């Protein structure tokens, strides 16, 4: 089998990432909405739909940040379901309970590293991570962890930035993300450098078929598939965990 992309084995140091998100947490949601024009919100909803989530399901959202995806799941699985949101950055997570309350849903938020989840095997019907996998120190280990805590037949759902397929749109996107995004992020959070890092990490992280290969290498999936959003600006990946 061909060697996996080294970026999948070695991401940025965990402590640097935790500090980075700690420093932008207060403006994260606002900056995100301004940068993506609210697109990311629609894509999280799309991921929930594609996961097949239904009332009563148990769902874990890892690297949940300020909780948006966990909250979207909680709306669908209802009070008979169980939604859990974890992140290793306390400053990001601190905003989540209030948002869940405002949305009228119950989510159990707690601190946890996505590469070492504090849950038994086969606990959840769906395990997700949105815009988090490229930031973990070892993406391949994180995928194995997500799959480990997911039930046989359950779904591992990943939303991550990708590579635009159309070269003209790609150069416009690259210009926007290189020149405008760090400025917006800098204005809102006072940390332009954090958004320069996020832009670089996004442009260097493999997507589409190459990412699906990583999921297959992580093992334990019956089927892996992906959907390109806006010509590849982001991707939704879905892995169906092998039945026992």
Region of 230 on the Ramachandran plot (φ > 0 left; ψ -120 to 50 alpha; else beta) = left
Of 62, 85, 83, 86, nearest to 74 by C-alpha is 83
Asked if residue 131 binds ligand SAM (CB under 6 A), the reply is yes
Of 227, 18, 242, 1, nearest to 137 by C-alpha is 18
**What backbone phi and psi angles, to 5 degrees, belong to 163?**
-115, 115
- Considering only 76, 96, 107, 130, the residue that binds ligand SAM (CB under 6 A) is 130
- Give least dist CB 149 to ligand SAM, A: 13
- Considering only 64, 164, 199, 202, the residue that binds ligand SAM (CB under 6 A) is 64
**What backbone phi and psi angles, to 5 degrees, belong to 164?**
-55, 135
Q: Which is nearer to ligand SAM, 201 or 243 (CB)?
A: 201
Q: List the x/- string, 145-174, binding to ligand SAM by CB under 6 A.
A: ------------------------------
> Which range in 59-67, 102-110, 185-193, 214-222 contacts ligand SAM by CB under 6 A?
59-67
Asked if residue 69 binds ligand SAM (CB under 6 A), the reply is yes
Asked if residue 51 binds ligand SAM (CB under 6 A), the reply is no
- Structure-token match 């309350």, residue found: 101
Q: Which residue is nearest to ligand SAM (CB)?
A: 65
- Give least dist CB 185 to ligand SAM, A: 11
d(CA 158, CA 200): 20
- CB within 8 A of 236, min separation 6: which ones? 43, 46, 47, 50, 157, 158, 159, 226, 227, 229
- Structure-token match 């890092």, residue found: 197
Q: Which helix (H) or strand (E) holds 159?
A: strand 150-161
- Give least dist CB 129 to ligand SAM, A: 7
| Separation in Å, CA 109 to CA 86, 126, 158 | 6, 16, 19
Asked if residue 115 binds ligand SAM (CB under 6 A), the reply is yes
Q: Which is nearer to ligand SAM, 40 or 77 (CB)?
A: 40
- Give least dist CB 192 to ligand SAM, A: 16
- Considering only 24, 57, 60, 68, the residue that binds ligand SAM (CB under 6 A) is 68
- Considering only 92, 105, 143, 218, the residue that binds ligand SAM (CB under 6 A) is 92
Asked if residue 188 binds ligand SAM (CB under 6 A), the reply is no
- Considering only 4, 5, 7, 14, the residue that binds ligand SAM (CB under 6 A) is 14
How many C-beta atoms surround the C-beta of residue 214 within 10 A?
A: 20
- CB within 8 A of 36, min separation 6: which ones? none
Residue numbers at the binding site for ligand SAM (CB under 6 A): 14, 17, 21, 63-65, 68-69, 87-89, 92, 113-115, 130-132, 135-136
């Amino acid at each position: 089998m061909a060697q996996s992309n080294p970026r999948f084995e070695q991401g940025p140091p965990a402590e640097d990432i935790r500090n980075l998100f700690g420093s932008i947490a207060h403006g994260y949601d606002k900056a995100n909405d301004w940068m993506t024009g609210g697109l990311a919100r629609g894509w999280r909803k799309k991921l929930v739909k594609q996961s097949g989530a239904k009332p009563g399901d148990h769902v874990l959202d890892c690297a949940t940040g300020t909780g948006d995806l966990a909250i979207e799941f909680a709306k669908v699985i209802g009070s008979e379901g169980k939604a859990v949101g974890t992140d290793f950055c306390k400053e990001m997570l601190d905003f989540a309970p209030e948002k869940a309350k405002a949305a009228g849903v119950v989510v159990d938020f707690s601190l946890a590293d996505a590469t070492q989840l504090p849950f038994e095997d086969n606990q959840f019907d769906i395990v997700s991570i949105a815009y988090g996998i490229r930031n973990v120190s070892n993406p391949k280990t994180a995928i194995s962890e997500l799959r480990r805590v997911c039930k046989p037949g359950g779904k591992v759902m990943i939303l991550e930035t990708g590579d635009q397929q159309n070269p003209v749109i790609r150069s416009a996107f690259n210009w926007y993300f290189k020149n405008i995004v760090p400025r917006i992020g800098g204005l809102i959070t006072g940390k332009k450098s954090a958004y320069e890092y996020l832009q670089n990490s996004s442009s260097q992280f493999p997507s589409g078929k190459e990412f699906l290969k990583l999921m297959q290498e992580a093992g334990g999936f019956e089927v892996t598939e992906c959907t390109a959003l806006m010509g590849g600006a982001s991707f939704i990946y879905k892995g169906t965990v092998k039945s026992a």
